[in-house]
Amino acid sequence: MAVMEGPVAKLFHWRDVKVTAPVFIAGNLFFLAILYWKMTLLRTFSLVLLWYCGVAFAAKNILEKVAPQYVPKPSLTKDYISRELAMSKVDPWVKKVNALIDEAKNLAFCVDNKKTFQFIGIFFGLMIVGRMFSDMVILYVLFLACFIWPVVYEKYQPQIDEQVDKAKVMANDHATKLNLIAKEKMDMGKKYIAENPTMKTLADKFTPKKTQ
């Protein structure tokens, strides 16, 4: 696992505390408003925008009277995103989306039993988590993890990587055992069908015929 770099990574790694701290505080206030004060999402967004517009309106008009030279002016009519930059970002994402669709097809058609069992375990775990916690609580935990996990991982990277490798080996062992059990059951089913004339007739009847 490598430590990523970039604007988002710098934000989550607390490279600039003056930028990260306000974002972290604002995010906590946002989730607390919804979870603790029971405010709706629409009301929370509206309240934040209302406060911003009110403070900005007051500050701008006061500065115009007291110190007009300090009134900020927006820079308009400029290209915020260049075509070259957009295309350079689109191509890698297109490849990732196509690869993701292929993986989804493989999962839907159970091409690889090992991966299918892995996803069954993941979806079962997500179902249990979804029953225990609300969506907003899960989002809040993910928000906190984005700001806490990178710092912890950067500090304890060797130990964490070692535990992750052990977990992968354990998961692969369990998936292999489940795959062998499923294969054994399928072989037993095929053997039973082959030994039972009635079942063999039904199996031949409902088995799709190969077209020439």
Question: What 3 state SS string does the chain have?
Answer: CCCCCCHHHHHHCCCCHHHHHHHHHHHHHHHHHHHCCCCCHHHHHHHHHHHHHHHHHHHHHHHHHHCHHHCCCCCCCCCCCCHHHHHHHHHHHHHHHHHHHHHHHHHHCCCCHHHHHHHHHHHHHHHHHHHHCCHHHHHHHHHHHHHHHHHHHHHCHHHHHHHHHHHHHHHHHHHHHHHHHHHHHHHHHHHHHHHCHHHHHHHHHHCCCCCC
How does residue 28 score in pLDDT terms, banded at 50, 70 and 90?
Answer: very high
- Mean pLDDT, residues 89-105: 90
pLDDT digits (tens, 9 = 90+) for 101-137: 999 998 888 888 778 888 888 999 999 999 999 999 9
Assess whether pLDDT exceeds 50 at residue 212. no
Rounded to whole angstroms, what are the CA distances from 63 to 55, 60, 75, 76, 84?
A: 12, 5, 19, 21, 39
pLDDT digits (tens, 9 = 90+) for 146-198: 999 999 998 999 999 999 999 989 988 887 888 788 788 888 877 777 777 66
